[in-house]
Amino acid sequence: MEEVITTDGVPRNVITVNDMFPGPTIEVVEGAQVVVKVTNKLLTEATSIHWHGLHMRGTPHMDGVAYVTQCPIMPRESFVYRFRAEPAGTHFYHSHLFTQREDGLFGAFIVHKAKHPIMPSVPVILHDWYHIDATPYWISNMFRIEYGGDGEYMLGAYERPFSQDGIKVSSRVFTSALINGRGRFGKNRAPLSTFIVASGGHVSFRIIHVGPDYPFRFSVDQHELTVTASDGYDMAPRSVQSVIIYPGESYDVQITGAVQPDLYWIRAQTLRTGHCSKCYPYDEVIVVPDDITEEVRAILQYQGVTPDRDPTTAKRNCSIENPCYVFNCPFAGYPKHLNTICINVNEAEAPNLPLEEDGQSKVIDNDHENSSNAEASDVTEIFLNFNFIIGSSINGRRFIGPTSPLHQNSTAATVSCDVEECLRSGCRCTHIIDIPYDKTIQLVMYNTFAPTSQTHHAVHIHGHAFQVVAMGYPTYNKTTGRYMQPNTDVKCKNDLCTDAAWRDGPPLLNLINPPLKDTVMVPANGYTVVRFRSDNPGPWFLHCHNDQHMNEGMALILQEAADRHPSPPKGFPRCGDFTWSSEEYQLSLEGNSRSGNSPRSQAVICVCVFTGSQQDVQTTALDINVLILSTVGGFLAMAIILAVAVYWIIKKREKAASVPLTVIAESVPLKRNRQI
């Protein structure tokens, strides 16, 4: 059973890596040169692999975004990725070609700190899981950018799950979910993932959400979780009962085994609390709580306990005296009666790191991301809008990917954005934002335009980690938890709210010890402000990590220091559109007919001359006859072709002589008429 890929017990196609699902965990030491040879053994699908969380400093062509940094790897082809392992921490790899990640092409990628002892890694990979392949699901998507599908697998407005804040969790039918590739559908008895811990010992989970859509609230019954890092970056430890994880995020949590040895449930639950009784408009939704739980479980097993049954444990009660804490809420707080307190990511802190030998902290040493001392003039501020004013978009632009990677410099490969049109009515184009070299870039990612701010987003940036310097939440009703008014710090500058500014100047920014991340939640009716230093030239993809939103167009390319991009390695594959004219076609035929036969004839002669065995001599005799016949035939054919060519040239000259006369005769009077 250990070697059977059981997923949630329901048969379907799965993409495996080295015959494994999830793919094998790659573990390397910080600073190492990593070499991964990817061979595409899919029958008819291309692929490309993104190393999520690794910064590809100096090697942007290894970032693995199909059509942005490289051509897709075609079936039977291989591609060698080579890059530096940085930064240390919990990362993952996954396909970056449309929806392929959803079918199983992912695995954990752990970079161990070079100056620390290597600790055992326990990846805990979360994934919402569906029973149809991602491609037919995508084809049916109503909001697909090329052609809208029939929406067969989408939930109608009155069926959608909502969290208690009145925000839609997803419009996708929740089917099931997996932890390290295992789960149970309905009440079936498919095997679950089991994690073994010593009594009194502790275990460090590296939780990674590789899934396409539903965020999860992760907890272990009767155990506290100490959050120590996110997206690979250490944080000042916080003890909580659960942590909410969005697609693309990772969290390191320590679990101390100080309780009764037993079997305990590990739970990853969606944020659903109910459905809507009034569903439109989106800012007036009424949520009715229901008892539908959408979740996946795994088992924490203490050494010495026989795993001959399911755990019987329950979650800890949250009381006024002993409230529960939740890390990374997408909203400001829970309803009062739940005795549950949010710790939002902007309240997390980078740890007080001891200085390294060179006198700098690890954060500065590793990534140059620390911009707390930046002069105001050194900050380039960019507002990015994540509402659904024209569907999944950023600043009113739905992203159309290039048809060849940007380093090929083909203007035909991109669709340029008409800025006026984009601001006025929204547009579809290859949205590229140029950012200058070696500046502090401040992105204000806002989603404050009700009623089109229908959901929270998890925004991931390639090539960088960033400081989370501020987050703004809507006001909310502390009794019900329902949001009341969107945050007002950001002021819309146009009708679609796709251009904006601060209403009364920027909010208070945490520039002292902000947490570092590479994927961050942008709350509905709120905003998130992040900063990074533009010292890593490359075309970096920025997108919502909800697969559906990304593929519908919630993405763009940060063209960082365009004049400083490294060249791709020698022989780097090229791809893109191809076309040729009728004249080129004719020339090609003529060229081929003049030179095409001679190399082959020579090859035949070579074979004839240099073969030596008895059998070969007979063959040679036969070939000489063939050669004489083909030579005579060849001369005849040449004579015919020559005659036809002479005839064709004479005809063409006659025709060429007449055509310009006709054109002039027609065009001159026409122009005169227009002038009159």
Helix (H) or strand (E) holding 573: none
Cα(506)–Cα(8) distance, integer angstroms = 47
Least distance (Å) between residue 543 CB and Cu ion:
8
Q: How many CB atoms lie within 10 A of CB 16?
A: 15
Instruction: Give the N- to C-terminal CA distance of the chain in Å, as an integer.
Output: 88
Let me know: does 308 contact 222? Beta carbons within 8 Å. no
Q: Copy the structure tokens of residue 295.
A: 């979740």
Residues in 583-622 that interact with Cu ion by CB under 5 A: none
Q: Is 17 exposed, middle or buried (0-12, 13-18, 19+ CB in 10 A)?
A: buried
Specify the stretch interacting with Cu ion by CB under 5 A; choose among 232-240, 449-457, 500-508, 640-648.
449-457
Pick 269 or 393: Cβ nearer Cu ion: 393
Least distance (Å) between residue 171 CB and Cu ion:
11
Q: Quick check: 531 binds Cu ion (CB under 5 A)?
A: no
Cα(543)–Cα(553) distance, integer angstroms = 9
Q: Is the peptide bond before 281 cis (omega within 30 degrees of 0)?
A: yes
Q: Quick check: 242 binds Cu ion (CB under 5 A)?
A: no
Specify the stretch interacting with Cu ion by CB under 5 A; choose among 45-53, 97-105, 184-192, 541-549.
541-549
Q: Is the peptide bond before 451 cis (omega within 30 degrees of 0)?
A: yes
Least distance (Å) between residue 470 CB and Cu ion:
20
Specify the stretch interacting with Cu ion by CB under 5 A; choose among 41-49, 190-198, 483-491, 545-553.
545-553
Pick 21 or 383: Cβ nearer Cu ion: 383
Q: Quick check: 549 binds Cu ion (CB under 5 A)?
A: yes
Estimate the crossing angle of helix 597-610 against helix 582-595, to 10 degrees.
Answer: 30
Specify the stretch interacting with Cu ion by CB under 5 A; choose among 166-174, 455-463, 526-534, 601-609.
455-463
Pick 171 or 546: Cβ nearer Cu ion: 546
Pick 73 or 445: Cβ nearer Cu ion: 445
Pick 413 or 521: Cβ nearer Cu ion: 521
Least distance (Å) between residue 283 CB and Cu ion:
18
Residues in 304-333 that interact with Cu ion by CB under 5 A: none
Q: Quick check: 267 binds Cu ion (CB under 5 A)?
A: no
Q: Copy the structure tokens of residue 663.
A: 């054109």
Pick 300 or 461: Cβ nearer Cu ion: 461
Pick 220 or 544: Cβ nearer Cu ion: 544
* 387, 486, 532 from 540: Cα distances, Å: 21, 30, 13
Least distance (Å) between residue 404 CB and Cu ion:
27
Q: How many residues bind Cu ion (CB under 5 A)?
A: 4
Least distance (Å) between residue 431 CB and Cu ion:
15
Least distance (Å) between residue 471 CB and Cu ion:
16
Specify the stretch interacting with Cu ion by CB under 5 A; choose among 70-78, 220-228, 340-348, 549-557.
549-557
Pick 83 or 153: Cβ nearer Cu ion: 153
Least distance (Å) between residue 392 CB and Cu ion:
7
Print the SS3 string covering 95-147.
Answer: ECCCCHHHHCCEEEEEEECCCCCCCCCEEEEEEEECCCCHHHHHHCCCCCCCC
Amino acid at 648: W
Cα(296)–Cα(342) distance, integer angstroms = 22
Q: Quick check: 450 binds Cu ion (CB under 5 A)?
A: no
Q: Quick check: 457 binds Cu ion (CB under 5 A)?
A: yes
Cα(502)–Cα(524) distance, integer angstroms = 17
Q: Quick check: 546 binds Cu ion (CB under 5 A)?
A: yes
Residues in 166-195 that interact with Cu ion by CB under 5 A: none
Among 544, 555, 557, 558, contact with Cu ion (rule: CB under 5 A): 544
Least distance (Å) between residue 385 CB and Cu ion:
12
- Chain position carrying tokens 């530096």: 84
Amino acid at 538: G
Specify the stretch interacting with Cu ion by CB under 5 A; choose among 210-218, 262-270, 544-552, 602-610.
544-552
Helices (H) and strands (E) in the chain, counts: 7, 38
Least distance (Å) between residue 155 CB and Cu ion:
16
* 111, 115, 612, 613, 669 from 32: Cα distances, Å: 9, 13, 55, 56, 74
Least distance (Å) between residue 99 CB and Cu ion:
14
Q: Copy the structure tokens of residue 105.
A: 């092409």
Q: Copy the structure tokens of residue 654.
A: 């006659």
Per-residue burial over 627-642, b if 16 or more Cβ lie within 10 Å, else e, is beeeeeeeeeeeeeee
The binding site for Cu ion (CB under 5 A) comprises 457, 544, 546, 549
